[in-house]
């Protein structure tokens, strides 16, 4: 909602409120064995929503969450349960005690997002973790970039992340329990990629970084932590194909570790941010790129 120019000088703007009485999490049980305390530090409980959860990064993330004890997993994916059935069966077979469901959700559709979050709450009564992995990438020279492509990339990567975070945060605020929201930015949010031209993707991911900081500031009072990760070039289907061979060589040549990352190499920081181990981390971004961005 915009303010009419004639009313600008008389308007009263809303103000953020900080958490005036923050309480740290209860201490780990000192009477437990060291191994048990170590496990408890990174243990995950309750319900997590993972958007884009049927993709390469999404499945690696889902598996890591379940390995650390998550009971309820809700996957939002544009393609729905039909195309993700094999992946679902694999997860359920490996974690028979977990409740796993996949919902067809277009993250750019606010009504669909809100309905899916409501369905998750109805199924499991709580949402404790949100991980926004849904996204698209496109490479086009800026002078030739169609406006609709620019808008689409921002809509999925930036607006879609916001809609999911907003829907989940509304529930977390009502529940009074707080939670952890993890957005996925990119090294593309920090500096220009080479050699591929992708101004729209870079802008979209820079928007995710700004969103992370803004939401962390607003929602800390509710016990909601908001952080982001910025992956480098990952070994997923988005970076496969003979047509990308030359680009992969250039990326590796400009990386201190000389290679692309594997999906599982993102999961450590995700578990940290989702668990008690990350209880004093909010508003932070973690670059996971093998050193790509140091140059």
As annotated, the active-site residues are: 186, 201, 205
DSSP string, 112-157: HHHHHHHHHHHHHS---EEEE---------GGG--HHHHHHHHIII
DSSP string, 192-252: --SSS--HHHHHHHHHHHHHHHHHHHHHGGGTEEEEEEEE-SBSSGGG-SGGGHHHHHHHH
Compute and round to an integer the Cα radius of gyration of the chain: 20
Do residues 86 and 104 make contact, with C-beta atoms less than 8 angstroms apart? Answer: no
Which residue bears the tokens 């329990």?
A: 177
End-to-end, the C-alpha distance of the chain in Å comes to 42
Which residue bears the tokens 């703007």?
A: 13
DSSP structural state of residue 261: B
Tokens matching residue 235: 């070994």
Do residues 154 and 204 make contact, with C-beta atoms less than 8 angstroms apart? Answer: yes
Nearest Cα to 157, choosing from 137, 171, 139? Answer: 137
- Which residues partner with 232 through β-bridges? none
Rounded to the nearest 5 degrees, what angle is found at the Cα of 141, between the Cα atoms of 138 and 145? Answer: 70
């Amino acid at each position: 909602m915009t303010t009419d120019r004639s009313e600008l000088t008389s308007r009263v703007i809303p103000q953020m409120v900080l958490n005036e009485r923050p309480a740290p999490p209860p201490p780990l049980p000192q009477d437990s064995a060291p191994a048990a305390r170590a496990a408890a530090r990174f243990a995950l409980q309750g319900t997590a929503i993972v958007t884009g959860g049927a993709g390469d990064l999404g499945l690696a993330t889902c598996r890591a969450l379940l390995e650390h004890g998550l009971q309820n997993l809700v996957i939002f994916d544009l393609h729905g349960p039909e195309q993700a059935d094999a992946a679902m069966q694999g997860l359920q077979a490996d974690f028979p005690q977990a409740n796993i469901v996949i919902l067809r959700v277009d993250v750019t559709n606010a009504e669909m997002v809100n309905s899916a979050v409501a369905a998750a709450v109805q199924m499991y009564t709580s949402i404790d973790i949100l991980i926004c992995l849904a996204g698209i990438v496109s490479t086009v020279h800026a002078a030739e970039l169609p406006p609709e492509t620019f808008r689409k990339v921002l809509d999925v990567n930036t607006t879609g992340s916001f809609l999911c975070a907003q829907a989940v945060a509304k529930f977390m605020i009502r529940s009074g329990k707080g939670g952890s929201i993890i957005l996925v930015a990119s090294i593309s949010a920090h500096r220009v990629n080479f050699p591929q031209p992708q101004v729209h993707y870079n802008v979209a991911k820079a928007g995710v970084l700004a969103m992370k900081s803004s939401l962390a500031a607003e929602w800390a009072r509710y016990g909601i932590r908001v952080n982001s990760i910025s992956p480098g070039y990952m070994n997923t289907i988005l970076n496969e194909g003979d047509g990308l061979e030359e680009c992969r060589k250039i990326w590796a040549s400009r990386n201190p570790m000389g290679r692309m990352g594997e999906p599982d190499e993102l999961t450590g920081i995700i578990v940290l941010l989702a668990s008690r181990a990350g209880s004093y981390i909010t508003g932070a971004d973690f670059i996971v790129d093998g050193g790509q961005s140091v140059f």
